Amino acid sequence: MVRQRQRHDPLEPTAAPRWYVVRSMHGAIVESRQLPAGADLKRVFLLAMLEWLDAGWTLTEFSSASAAFFCVRNPERRMISIDPTNPHDVPMYGGAHLGGGAGSPG
């Protein structure tokens, strides 16, 4: 018998911090804010889509599985996401800590 893994849902309620992040088409952070602990992430996600639509943007694609959606208002494109990490923190995955920058050992 094969056990099936439960699918990860990034919009499930959690006590862990989450951030609402808006990025430009080049990945630059346009806006970010920490969401309140225990926020209804599905509701935040849906309301964000409606707010962007109401502001005259066109929704081009979305995925609740990745907690992100894209919208355009020529010539601009934005990616809006609910992130599990602070987008302003320095990434410490892979070999990032070996780069010799400020705060790295040695």
| Termini Cα distance of the chain | 50
Question: Could you state, in order of their start, the residue ranges of all structural domains in the chain?
Answer: 19-85
What's the token pair of residue 105?
């050992």
The tens digit of pLDDT for each residue in 62-88 reads 998 899 999 999 999 999 999 999 999
The tens digit of pLDDT for each residue in 34-54 reads 999 899 999 999 999 999 999
pTM metric for this prediction? 0.78
Residues 6+ apart with CB under 8 A from 88: 29, 32
Distance CA 92, CA 73 (A): 34
16: amino acid identity, one letter: A
pLDDT for the residue numbered 93: 62
For the cut 80, the answer to whether the pLDDT of residue 57 exceeds it is: yes
Percent of the chain as helix, strand, coil, to the nearest 5? 15, 30, 55
For the cut 90, the answer to whether the pLDDT of residue 21 exceeds it is: yes
pLDDT for the residue numbered 5: 67
